[in-house]
Amino acid sequence: MDTLLSKGIIADSLWQIGTTVLGVIALAIILEVIIYLIMGKGLKSKHAIPVMLLTPAIIGISLLVVWPVIYEVSIAFSNMSAQVTETRDYFRNPEYGPAILFDHIAKIFTQPILRNELFFPIFLRTILWTGIQVFAHVLGGLVLAMLLNREIRGRGLYRTMLVIPWAVPQVIAVLAWRGEFNIEYGSFNTILRGMEMAPIQWYSDGLWNIVAMHLVNIWLGVPFMMVTLLGGLQAIPKDYYEAAEIDGANAWSRFKAITFPMLQPVMTPVVILGIIWTFNNFNIPFIINLNKLETSDILVTALYRAAFESPNQYGFAAAFAFIIFFILFGISLVQVKITGTLKELGLTQKKKKKGAPIEAPSAEVV
Amino acid sequence: MSNKNKPVSSKKKFNLYRWFFFRSRGDSPFVKLIIHVVLIGACFISLYPALRVMTVSLRSGNNLLTTDLDIIPTGRVRAPADYQASQLDLAREKTQDEVQAVINERIASDVERNNTEVKNNLTYLTIQKLGGTVAGFKDLKDFVDNAPKLTTSDLAKKLNTAWHKVAELSGDEAQAAVEKAYGTKGLEERSVTLPSKTKVTVKAPAQVSEEDLVKTLSVDLSTKVPDKTLTMRFSKKETTLKIPAEATAQELDLVFYKNEVLKERKIKYQYSGKEITLQLVDTTAKKQSFKESDLEDVLYRSPAEMQSLLDVKLKDSIKAGKLVIERGASLKLDIPRNMNLDDIKDVLAKVPTGPVSARVLTVEGEIEQSFDPNIDLKALNKAFLEKSKTVPGGNEGVPFGEAYIMFRVFPGGDLTEVVPDFPAQASEGDNPAYIKALLDKQIRINKINQKDQQVFAKFTLDGKPLVFKDAEGKDTEIIAMPFNLGAQELGKDMLYKVTNAKVLSFNTATLNNYAKILFDKDSDFLLWIWNSLLITISTAFLGVALASTSAYAFSRFSFPGRKAGLIFLLTTQMIPGAMLMLPIYVLAKNLGLIGTWSGLVVAYSVGSIPFSVWILKGYYDTIPKELEEAATIDGATKMQTFFKIMLPLAAPALAIVFLFNFMQAWNDYMLARIMLPDAETHTWPLGLTKLQGQFNTQWGTFSAAALMVSVPVVALFLASSKYLVSGLTLGSVKG
């Protein structure tokens, strides 16, 4: 075999990875010892142990999340881009200043983000995308979970097969789906042709491209919801239903009065996560959009294109990124206020035990 | 129970129905059945892409994402019934709409001449596009209804005489024939009525008699070309007819249709061995009604079509040639940004020149250069990198350079396709024109702009390069080729053109794609997997170690900033990934971690901390504090309680976090792309994307690789999904 995978490379890679892992661990231990000596022995602080436990993560996060964010803020105040002219290298030596930031912000709201599309159409599209997706995920997941929660044969098998979209590497799944939207060979158009209807141009027709995005993401997102909600459903004691049945409650009122409220604690956090993930979803809108239609871009893909596709306006993109971040933050904040999720997430100490009296769901799911 | 009175046997008989429906419990069997149907439907949808990928990976072709292919759809246009195919200019390349436009134009001109019948007699013509067969159904039906009764010898006679009528010249051909016979002097416009009653206007000398002129314009095919035998059987008598060997399907059909041969009879074709048997079936005098489909199956098929439909024997019926398609692409090669025009020229000067053009686009300007089509891109890339180190600003190249080269490369290897039995047409020049038309059609369908046609191809038939006309009418050997059209399909299309037969598939299942991706000497698949595995496993371990301790602090200790910390972790999830790319790149660059796995391992394991902490914290919260308190009373230190009590109890949650970290690192594309520029360090998503995009998608090998990458992950995922559910819900249910 004459591939790149030679003995030298194997040894090299093992050495590199090994030293990295051991190095990180050694560094962490040294740090712990230092903190222990200073805070535990020296200052006799009662917070010594949590600080010790948290320090490695804090360092890591400040290095890879906090510092980049700060750096990004500074870029937002600059006109950094990949451009190099005779007078100035805009990558290594950009201009800084608050005026530039205001310029960026003005440009975001008044001029096209990329070539044609303005900010607000993209924003509305993103909201629509998130709303439809999360609703479809919850609905699909709930229906499937409730079906799987009934006593039927082969539940485990069904569940296994239904989980597969979640398990398959996303890039592969999306690429495979993209093939299905091919105008000549894709399944959808083959079926349409079979019914003697005109084939749909999934890649070049703006509306259908968005439909394709939605279809693929629903396929990808339902399994996660299903599994989570199934766990929640199985944690609801059967006695409740039996009691309701004896009282003569019909299926709908049982669902309304028992299932839905009891699922709430499971559903709320995953819905919040779902909104964040869908809003920030990059792979699906980016990969499905083969022809780079601007009319299919959501905020995140527009951000990527503004930054990394020509003309590489890093400064402008950084300002744009913060606007996206604040939008998402605002949405989440409103949601948290409305649902009182913080309570559910156990962030307020005293009301902790007041949640639904749910037994821990059994680890066994058929 | 009915068997109450009988002695109960120790072994109960197994009842499948009862077993399947849990008879005693839950919903009624009917409801359960509905649930099963819905779930099976859902499972089908969820497995569908996987099944498709599996199918494609087992095919020998490398180009399409489908199992069988309806090559050319049959189009329908509206036209007056008496319009014959031969009268319409139905060029093979024309689309349905274009044909309709031709017809409409003619209708319009007929209407101008007060030909009202035309208007009232619209019916459908069925066009088999590219095959060129067109006939009006109404016309045919009239003909079948009204034709006089004929004996077999009548038929034979009619057929033979009719043949010569068809072989008439018209238009330019006619003019050429006249000029050849009588010279080009003293010409005047004359109208000649040919035996078939069509009028032809030619320029000919006045002294030539009309009889002579008709002779000149009629070509006696029977003297020019060898005969072939067509055996016809009418009722029980058999007649053998000799017909010109060049008679094509369409022409033969026209002979039958035009000459009112049949009345109240139905034709049946039968094919046996080498002969076509035509059978006339008496259907008495009653009116016969035909379905379109009947007509298509029986009457519209010519011998050639029948033969190809029944038995596609390329070698017997059609000349076959060996078509070689060398495929290349217009390819973008990024150039380090610190190089100026002269530096680039320096590097390019060392590249062997050849017939393929390339444009080098930089901010400073453009260079045009010709290249050897089989250029080694890896080496060129390396040459650029090495050069960039020697010019100012070396060793700090910027990832997203503005300068690049647009190549047309023909790398050979997998991208060269050979069709050994490509149907070759009789006339030279027909093949290129036809192939070009097909490719143009594809380009039109896929709405590919001329600028964006990035795949190019060179065609050779039996060793001779095919010469095409480009958009400006110049001869060229290299033409744009849509990425999704493979040689096999081209062969099928061509075959269809020659025979009007649809061929479903040449392909059979093989494991070639798997062997190729695993063992081919150019395949780096194993390297990608090795790299990915190393990175992923170490990431997962580190990630679990970091998250498990932090989560413990959040779960068991109260300290200032605890709540803020948790909210902060949630907030980090809201940061768009694209936003952090540039800063992380700059940081890694400054630490010298670009091109190494170390940076990636650290980045991955830190990146997944927020999510992991949330999951683990939720799980820790469910573990009673009393356990630790008891341990502390027994004299265990905090360390000991954590390692000996908490961690073992939290094993399921740790497994989930491990799995999440594993999957995240295993599937990541974006970060790996900016951190690992060198081919030797690529992980599989980078490699696979390269496989998918560089020239044209090699769906076969891509699918094989995709399947091999996914199966272990899916298996791992499914095996641990038991814990997954409990872990996820526990984390969030218990506050």
In B182-314, where do the E strands start and end? 187-193, 199-205, 227-234, 237-244, 265-272, 275-282
Asked if B515 is an interface residue toward chain A (Cβ–Cβ < 8 A), one would say: no
| Helix%, strand%, coil% for chain B, nearest 5 | 50, 15, 30
Buried b (16+ CB within 10 A) or exposed e, B482-493: bbbbbbbbbbbb
Q: What are phi and psi of A269, to 5 degrees?
A: -65, -40
User: Who has greater pLDDT, B299 or A115?
Assistant: A115
Q: Which amino acid is at A349?
A: Q
Asked if B437 is an interface residue toward chain A (Cβ–Cβ < 8 A), one would say: no
Q: Which pLDDT score is estimated for B373?
A: 62
CB A338 within 8 A of CB A268: no
- Report how far residue B40's alpha carbon sits from residue B125's, in angstroms, rounded to the nearest whole number: 44
pLDDT tens, position by position, A92-138 = 777 787 888 888 888 888 888 777 788 899 999 999 999 999 999 99
Q: Say which residues have a Cβ less than 8 Å from residue B471's Cβ, sequence separation at least 6.
A: B450
Q: Which pLDDT score is estimated for B390?
A: 76
Residues of B in contact with A48 (CB under 8 A): none
Question: What are the residue ranges of helices labelled H in B183-332?
Answer: 210-217, 221-224, 249-258, 292-298, 303-310, 314-317
pTM for the full predicted model: 0.58
Highest mean pLDDT among A333-337, A349-353, B293-297: A333-337
pLDDT tens, position by position, A40-93 = 777 777 777 788 888 888 888 888 888 888 888 888 888 777 666 667 677 777
Percent of chain A scoring above 90 in pLDDT: 10
pLDDT tens, position by position, B172-182 = 767 777 777 77
Q: Which pLDDT score is estimated for A211?
A: 93
Highest mean pLDDT among A163-167, B210-214, B619-623: A163-167
* A83 token code pair: 């451009």
Closest in A4, A183, A347 to B524, CB measured: A4
Strands B455-461 and B478-480: antiparallel
Asked if B392 is an interface residue toward chain A (Cβ–Cβ < 8 A), one would say: no
Q: Which pLDDT score is estimated for A301?
A: 87
Q: Which amino acid is at B298?
A: V
In B, minimum Cα distance to A174 occurs at B49
Residues of B in contact with A307 (CB under 8 A): 578, 581-582
* A228 token code pair: 């989570």
Q: Which pLDDT score is estimated for B688?
A: 80
Q: Which pLDDT score is estimated for B695?
A: 40
B455 pLDDT more than 80: no
- Report how far residue B345's alpha carbon sits from residue B122's, in angstroms, rounded to the nearest whole number: 66
CB B261 within 8 A of CB B299: no
Closest in A9, A24, A61 to B609, CB measured: A61
Half-sphere exposure of A210 (CA within 13 A, CB side): 15
Q: Which pLDDT score is estimated for B489?
A: 59
Residues of A in contact with B47 (CB under 8 A): 161, 164
CB B249 within 8 A of CB B133: yes
CB B709 within 8 A of CB B688: yes
Q: What is the mean pLDDT of residues A333-356?
A: 52
pLDDT tens, position by position, A317-327 = 888 888 888 88
Cross-chain residue pair A13–B19, CB shorter than 8 Å = no
Cross-chain residue pair B46–A273, CB shorter than 8 Å = no
Confidence of residue B445 (pLDDT cuts 50, 70, 90): low
CA distance A82 to chain B (A): 7
Q: What is the mean pLDDT of residues B456-475?
A: 76
CB B682 within 8 A of CB B525: no
Confidence of residue B723 (pLDDT cuts 50, 70, 90): low
Q: What is the mean pLDDT of chain B?
A: 64
Q: Which pLDDT score is estimated for B356?
A: 66
Cross-chain residue pair B729–A266, CB shorter than 8 Å = yes
The answer for B 447-466 residues in CB contact with A (under 8 A) is 447
Which of A278-282, A283-287, B124-128 has the weakest average pLDDT?
B124-128
- Report how far residue B271's alpha carbon sits from residue A53's, in angstroms, rounded to the nearest whole number: 85
Q: What is the mean pLDDT of chain A?
A: 80
In B, minimum Cα distance to A18 occurs at B538
Closest in B21, B542, B597 to A16, CB measured: B597
User: Who has greater pLDDT, A232 or B247?
Assistant: A232
Residue B14, exposed/middle/buried by CB under 10 A (0-12, 13-18, 19+)? exposed
Instruction: Compute, in degrees rounded to 10, the torsion defined by CA atoms A303, A309, A310, A312.
Output: 50
- Report how far residue A90's alpha carbon sits from residue A111's, in angstroms, rounded to the nearest whole number: 22
CB B466 within 8 A of CB B477: yes
CB A96 within 8 A of CB A74: yes
Q: What is the mean pLDDT of residues A24-39?
A: 85
Cross-chain residue pair A13–B64, CB shorter than 8 Å = no
Buried b (16+ CB within 10 A) or exposed e, B646-655: bbebbebbbb
B59 pLDDT more than 60: yes
pLDDT tens, position by position, B550-587 = 888 888 888 888 888 888 887 787 777 777 877 887 78
Asked if B692 is an interface residue toward chain A (Cβ–Cβ < 8 A), one would say: yes
Distances (CA, A) of B450 to B357, B358, B408, B481: 16, 16, 14, 11
* B487 token code pair: 């040689």
Q: Which pLDDT score is estimated for B482?
A: 62
The answer for B 151-170 residues in CB contact with A (under 8 A) is none
Residues of B in contact with A231 (CB under 8 A): 725-726, 728-729
**DSSP letters spanning B41-67:** HHHHHHHHHHHHHHHHHTSS-SS-S-S
Residues of B in contact with A171 (CB under 8 A): 667, 669, 685, 688-689
In A, minimum Cα distance to B549 occurs at A53
CA distance A7 to chain B (A): 11
Asked if B660 is an interface residue toward chain A (Cβ–Cβ < 8 A), one would say: no
* B532 token code pair: 């990915």
Cross-chain residue pair A68–B584, CB shorter than 8 Å = yes
CB B717 within 8 A of CB A163: yes
pLDDT tens, position by position, B347-391 = 888 877 766 666 676 666 677 777 776 667 677 777 877 777 777
- Report how far residue B193's alpha carbon sits from residue B679's, in angstroms, rounded to the nearest whole number: 75
Q: What is the mean pLDDT of residues B520-531?
A: 81
Which of B314-323, B329-338, B521-530, B636-645 has the weakest average pLDDT?
B314-323
Q: Which pLDDT score is estimated for A4?
A: 54
The conformation of residue B139, written as its DSSP 8-state character, comes to: H
CA distance A334 to chain B (A): 14
In A, minimum Cα distance to B540 occurs at A21
Closest in A61, A184, A364 to B484, CB measured: A184
A140 pLDDT more than 90: yes
- Report how far residue A349's alpha carbon sits from residue B558's, in angstroms, rounded to the nearest whole number: 10
Rg (CA), chain A: 26
The answer for B 101-160 residues in CB contact with A (under 8 A) is none
Residues of A in contact with B692 (CB under 8 A): 175
CA distance A232 to chain B (A): 6
In B60-149, where do the E strands start and end? 74-80, 122-128, 133-136
CB B571 within 8 A of CB A333: no
Residues of B in contact with A57 (CB under 8 A): 546-547, 549-550, 606, 609, 613
Q: Which pLDDT score is estimated for B39?
A: 92
pLDDT tens, position by position, B624-655 = 888 888 888 888 887 788 888 888 888 878 88
CB B566 within 8 A of CB B559: no
Q: Which pLDDT score is estimated for B297?
A: 36
User: Who has greater pLDDT, B617 or B162?
Assistant: B617
Confidence of residue A217 (pLDDT cuts 50, 70, 90): very high
Residues of B in contact with A233 (CB under 8 A): none
pLDDT tens, position by position, B491-508 = 555 555 554 433 333 344
Q: Which amino acid is at A209?
A: N
Interface predicted TM-score (ipTM):
0.79
- Report how far residue B267's alpha carbon sits from residue B283's, in angstroms, rounded to the nearest whole number: 11
Residues of B in contact with A220 (CB under 8 A): none
User: Who has greater pLDDT, B167 or A73?
Assistant: A73
Percent of chain A scoring above 70 in pLDDT: 87
Q: Is A143 helix (H, G, I), strand (E, B) or coil?
A: helix
Pairs of residues, one from chain A and one from chain B, whose beta carbons lie less than 8 Å apart: 364
CB A266 within 8 A of CB B728: no
Look-up: residue for tokens 């320090």? A55
Give CB contacts under 8 A, 24+ apart, made by B587-595.
B587/A63, B587/A64, B587/A67, B587/A68, B587/A71, B588/B675, B589/B396, B593/B675, B594/B675, B594/B677, B595/B675, B595/B676, B595/B677, B595/B678, B595/B681
In A, minimum Cα distance to B26 occurs at A151
pLDDT tens, position by position, B652-704 = 788 878 888 888 888 888 788 778 877 778 888 888 877 655 344 566 777 88
Q: What is the mean pLDDT of residues B606-612?
A: 86
Cross-chain residue pair B541–A17, CB shorter than 8 Å = no
Closest by CA to A286, choosing from A209, A200, A223, is A209
User: Who has greater pLDDT, B427 or B251?
Assistant: B427
Cross-chain residue pair B32–A314, CB shorter than 8 Å = no
